[in-house]
Amino acid sequence: MRVRPASRGTNAVLHGWLRETLAAVVAALPAGAAAGDPAATRALWEAWQQGLTVRFTTLPERLPPLRVLLVWDNLAGHKTPEMVLWLCRHGIMPLYTPLGGSWLNMAESIQRILKRRALDGQQPRSSAEIGAWFEQTAGNWNRQPTPFVWNGKRRQRRRRRAGDGHPVGGSAALTYRVLPRHGRAHQKYRNTCQLTH
Task: Label residue 144 by pLDDT band (50, 70, 90).
Answer: confident
* Domain interval for residue 116: 104-195
In a domain, 84, yes or no: yes
Choosing from 66, 100, 134, the residue where a domain stops is 100
**Whether residue 89 sits in one domain with residue 45:** yes
**Whether residue 162 sits in one domain with residue 92:** no
Give the chain's domain count. Answer: 2
In a domain, 2, yes or no: no
- What angle do helix axes 127-143 and 183-195 make, rounded to 10 degrees? 110
Express each pLDDT in 25-78 by its tens digit.
999 988 765 556 788 888 888 888 887 776 776 677 788 888 998 888 778 888
**Whether residue 188 sits in one domain with residue 130:** yes
**Whether residue 109 sits in one domain with residue 94:** no
Choosing from 100, 126, 146, the residue where a domain stops is 100
The strand pairing partners of 48, in sequence order, are: none
Q: Residue 134 has what pLDDT?
A: 92
In a domain, 159, yes or no: yes
